[in-house]
Structure 1
């Protein structure tokens, strides 16, 4: 299949618009084609092209995916993650400042379901990777990496401030126990592989 692959990549390079990094795209599709041929040796070349799309179809996807759409997706995910922290910060300040039943009852409820919160928050990162992969396919790798890093800023900032006691840990009692801190550090370390796996699942679903 090597001659077919080379012809496919040459045509794809020719059809791609000028405002994209053609070399990176060709390299990515070369790896993707190799993986596909290795994983599905029973498929002939026509079947593989039918799954991936023709060079013209792939190039058109790059033309249709404008910079506005990528920025929109990135900003939405970054905003959502910052919103989680803003809501959490407002709830923490409200609980310690106003002592209103709305704040105290919500705080006590959250302290009892802290593991559920971690699970739901992990879903956010799964959705982040999956949606970018599904929407932008293999060409969304750079967008995924940039969005992930931007979203991670408040996580790392809060973790550093908590570990080095730059903010009073007593503010988060009884939620912030030692086992919960360890769990949060562990989950933060796992966020990238979890999101990246979800991204590739999204890429596969986009084919």
Structure 2
């Protein structure tokens, strides 16, 4: 068992070359190998054990290739990508709301009526975006992505809090959001906003696990 583990880590180290996270990657995979080999301790056929290892983690060459590819995705790019997408959500929603209230277009009224008739669906789609944020950061940056996820979350949340403040203090007329601004929907929005960070954190851990 130890021979297979050493062989796997040696090949992985060779494949990683001068990767800047080489030491932490090897340490992480060593821990996962220990767990897997412990569960396979009754298996005596080395070829079968090797097959189980590769089935679970992939070959060392495949793992190294994935980590080399991820060097091209910088934390800054990932952070600003999600922030930009969230701003795009708000810009699109804001433009639609503004157009609906200022322009007397029948197709726009119809579109608004259709969209606002499924507020729960809109909320669930938006929650999926936040879950994707955590998952992709976890999958892309592993155990070092938590700080990035937290920073990205805080910055991406600014449009949400800004809109909430503008609406609560009636700087934006409540009538503009009819028929969405009902008490139940407002409470739902507050509840879902509270859930955003736990959702991101769970998704991040899921993504981190999937990266192995």
Q: TM-score, normalised by structure 1?
A: 0.72
Distance 2:38 2:158 in 1: 43
Q: Which segments of 5 or more consecutive residues in structure 2 lack a partner in the other structure? A: 1-12, 42-49
Return the alpha-carbon distance in structure 2 between the equivalents of residues 97 and 132 of structure 1. Answer: 40
Deviation at 1:161, TM superposition (A): 1.7
Instruction: Give unpaired runs (5+ residues) of structure 1.
Output: 1-11
1:148-196 Cα offsets, whole Å, 9 max, x none, are 1111110111112222222211110111211101100100000000111
Counterparts in 2 of 1:1-207, with a 5 A limit?
A: 42=39, 66=71, 69-207=74-212
Q: Secondary structure at the match of 1:200?
A: helix
Q: Spell out, residue by residue over 1:3-45, the C-alpha distance to the aligned partner (whole angstroms, 9 max, x if none).
A: xxxxxxxxx9xx9x8x88x9xx79x96xxx59x96x997477x
The answer on whether the counterparts of 2:70 and 2:140 sit within 8 Å (CA) in structure 1 is no
Q: Give TM-score scaled by structure 2 length.
A: 0.70
Q: Residues 69 and 188 of structure 1: is their aligned pair in 2 closer, same or farther, counting only changes over 3 Å?
A: same
Residues 82 and 156 in structure 2, CA contact (< 8 A), matched pair in contact too: yes
| Number of aligned residue pairs | 188
Bigger Rg, structure 1 or 2: 2
Shift of 1:60: 10
Following TM superposition, where does structure 1 have runs of at least 4 consecutive aligned residues deviating by more than 3 angstroms?
A: 39-44, 49-53, 58-68
Report the equivalent of 1:5: none
How many angstroms apart in 2 are the aligned matches of 1:158 and 1:141? Answer: 26
> Per-residue CA shift, 1:112-148, capped at 9, x if unaligned?
1111000111100111111111111111111111111
SS at match of 1:167: coil
Q: Deviations over 1:39-80 (max 9, x none)?
A: 997477xx9x99799xxxx99988875586222211111111
Secondary structure at the aligned position of 1:187 is classed as: helix
* Pairwise CA RMSD: 3.6
